[in-house]
Amino acid sequence: MKKLLLCVLPMLLFISCGANKEETSEDNFYSQSVGGNCGLDVVSDYNSMALQCRSMYSTSDVDECENKIIQLMDKYPGIDCKAERGYGLDKEEFYITESNLQSLLEEVQNL
Domain ranges (residues) in the chain? 38-111
Least Cα distance to 40 among 57, 53, 25 occurs for 25
DSSP state of 77: T
Beta-bridged to residue 84, according to DSSP, are: 93
Q: Rounded to 10 degrees, what is the CA torsion of 50, 52, 56, 58?
A: -150
Q: Hey, which residues does 34 pair with through a beta bridge?
A: 80
pLDDT in tens, the chain (111 residues): 444 333 333 333 333 333 333 444 555 666 666 778 888 888 899 999 999 998 889 999 999 999 999 999 999 999 999 888 888 899 889 899 999 999 999 999 998
Cβ neighbours, 10 Å, residue 18: 8
Sequence-separated (6 or more) residues with CB below 8 Å from residue 91: 84, 85
- How far is the C-alpha of 73 from the C-alpha of 55, rounded, in Å? 20
CA distance 50 to 74: 16
Confidence (pTM): 0.69
Q: In what order do the strands lie in the sheet with 34-37?
A: 34-37, 80-85, 92-97
